[in-house]
Amino acid sequence: MYAITLDPAVIGDGCSALPTATPDLSPYVVLIRRGVCTFDTKIANAQASGAKRILFYNNIPGVPGAPGDSSLTFPVAMVADTQGAEWISQLKLQ
> What does the pLDDT read at residue 68?
62
> What does the pLDDT read at residue 64?
72
For residues 16-50, one letter each, b for 16 or more C-beta atoms within 10 angstroms of the residue's C-beta and e for the rest, the string is: eebeeebeebeebbbbbbbbeeebeebbebbbebe
Q: The CATH number of the domain where 82 resides is what?
A: 3.50.30.30
> What does the pLDDT read at residue 82?
92
Range of the domain at 76: 2-16+24-92
Q: How many domains does the chain have?
A: 1
Kindly report the pTM of this predicted structure.
0.90
> What does the pLDDT read at residue 49?
97
> What does the pLDDT read at residue 71?
57
Q: Which segments of the chain have a pLDDT < 50?
A: none
Length of the chain in residues, anyone? 94
